[in-house]
Structure 1
Amino acid sequence: MPPSRQPGFENTRSNEYWFCFSSPNVESHLIISISENHYLALAKGPLVEDHVLIVPVEHMPSTLSLSSEFEVELCQFQNSLQRYCKSQGKEVIFLEWVFIRATHANLQAIPIPSSKAVIVEKAFNLASQKMGFKFVSKNFDSISDGRKFLKTQADEESSLSYAEISGGIILLHHVEEKVRFLAQFGCEVGI
Structure 2
Amino acid sequence: MTPTDSLPIAILAPEPTFMDVDAFDELDSILDDLRTRNDETPQWEFCEGFLAAVICARRPIPEDEYLQALLGTPMADEAPDDESGSFASDEQKARFMALWQQRWAEVAAALDSEVDSLEDDRCYHPEVMDIRGAVADMPPEEQVAFKGEDLPAFAQVWALGFMFAIEYWPEDWAAPRDKDAAKWLDNAL
TM-score, length of structure 2 as denominator length: 0.29
Higher RCO structure, 1 or 2 (CA under 8 Å, sep 6+): 2
TM-score, length of structure 1 as denominator length: 0.28
Quick check: which has more Rg, 1 or 2?
2
